[in-house]
Structure formats: structure tokens, C-alpha cells
Amino acid sequence: MKVIRWSVLCVVALAVLGAGAVSIYRLKLKRGAEDVVRAAYDFSLQRQPPTVQELRERFGRALRQPDPCTPYGCGYDVFLSNRALAEFHLLPYTTLRSSFWANNGVVESNMLELWTITGNGTMRLSYVLVKYCDQCNSFTIHPWEDSSPLGVTGSVEIGSVSTPSEKRTALALNTDCLISWRGCTNIAELLPAVWWVTPARTVGCRIRNREGDVGRGLDLP
């Protein structure tokens, strides 16, 4: 009986420790993802485009350079995923990547990609491109209509001189998708500030636009 009792206690202790480790991992991953998205927003608010040195100061060792530089510039990124839990089928595999393209040490663009693998093995992706230039005031969305299929890919382009409100909306990626037990299954869940699921089970755009172009003065959520 003592052996059985000790065995049960060991199993319970291991289960508690495992649950605690999973909770800590999810919390750390959530905070890391929020920091990555917040950094993109903070950089977009600066009067001048961020530099590679600023990226290194902000991200430290998390900043990678996947490929060598070319004559046209250099690419850098920060990559997060829930692979450690997805491999045990605890969460749907989901990743967040913030990639930067820089020329002469100055960032020209920043792309955030949030994508996940759904239960039936298909991929869902939403991405946001921030362009840096003196005249970059674009805010474009695809899909922009109210009847897109649930499996559509979502894309947003925002300029560095667009308004803070527009940037906040465009960059409101749902970092909970990385730690959700059920995961996110469509772009409306990946970027809910821009899209929603209609009663007809299609994807609709929340933001008033003209064939994907959010003009000056149109209402934001």
C-alpha cells in the first residue's frame, strides 16, 4: 500500500509541476509576443525610421540575421513560436515573426506575420507591413469586403506617417493566438481590430474603406 501511495503522490506532484511549467511558459511567450508587437508600434511613432542599432538595443540576442546582406540591404527578424507545447499537441502550432529590412543601417520596412496551423492542417495568416518614408501615409487592407471565405489570408499595409490611431488598429495582432488552447482559426481571430466573422460565416472588414484603401477622414473602430 505504501508503494501505491507514494506512486500516486509522485504522479500528482509531476502533474502539478508540469502544469506549473506550462503556465510559466505560456506567460513568458505571451509577454514576449506583446513586446514584439509593441516594439513595432513604438518604432512606427518615431520621427525618424529606427536604425539597426536600435533594433539590437531593443531585442538583444533575440534579433537574428537569417541571411547575409545583399547590395540592396540587410534583413533581420525576431521569431517566436509555441513549438515546445505544439509538439505535445497541447496547442495548435502558431508563430509570430517581426522582420525588418534595412539599408545603410536604417530600417525601410517592418513586417509582422502571425500564422497558425488549424485543426484540419491548413494555415491561417495575417500580416502587417509598416513602410518607412517621408511620404508613407498609406493604410490599405485586404480583404476589404464583407463576404470573403474564412480561409482567406489577411494583409495590411500602413505607412510610418499615418496617424497613431491607424497604426494602433493595424498592429493590433492577437497575441493570445500563441497561447490559446483552441488556437485561432481565421484572420478575424488573428487580427480582430480589422476583421470580424459575419453571421453568414464569412470574413468582413470592420474598417470603412474604398476598395481596400482607408482614406483620410474615414472612421476607425
* Model confidence pLDDT, tens digit, residues 97-142: 999 999 999 999 999 999 999 888 899 999 999 999 988 999 999 9
Short-list 129, 136, 128, CA closest to 160: 136
pTM here? Answer: 0.87
pLDDT reported for residue 10: 46
Distance CA 146, CA 159 (A): 24
Is pLDDT above 60 for 150? yes
Residue 214 lies in a domain: no
Q: Is 140 helix (H, G, I), strand (E, B) or coil?
A: strand
Pairwise pLDDT comparison (19 vs 85), residue with the higher score: 85
**Residue at 38 is within a domain:** yes
- pLDDT value of residue 62: 96
- Average confidence (pLDDT) over 28-43: 97
Asked whether residue 20 carries a pLDDT value surpassing 90, the answer given is no
Grid-cell match 481590430, residue found: 193
Q: Is pLDDT at 218 greater than 70 in this prediction?
A: no
For residue 211, tell me if it sits in a domain: no
pLDDT at 121: 86
Question: What pLDDT, in 10s, does the model give residues 196-207?
Answer: 999 999 999 999
> Domain containing 135: what range?
2-205
- Please give the tally of structural domains in the chain: 1
* Whether residue 176 has pLDDT greater than 50: yes
What mean pLDDT comes out for the span 3-14? 49
Residue 50 above 90 pLDDT? yes
**Residue 139 has which C-alpha cell?**
493604410
pLDDT attached to residue 197: 96
Average pLDDT over residues 26-48: 96
Spatial CA neighbour of 157 closest among 202, 126, 187, 178: 126
Instruction: Label residue 3 by pLDDT band (50, 70, 90).
Output: low
Q: Is residue 75 part of a domain?
A: yes
- The cell for 1 is 500500500
- Placement of cell 540587410 in the chain: 74
For residue 217, being part of any structural domain is answered with: no
Per the domain annotation, does 216 fall within a domain? Answer: no
3-state secondary structure of 64: strand
Q: Is residue 170 part of a domain?
A: yes
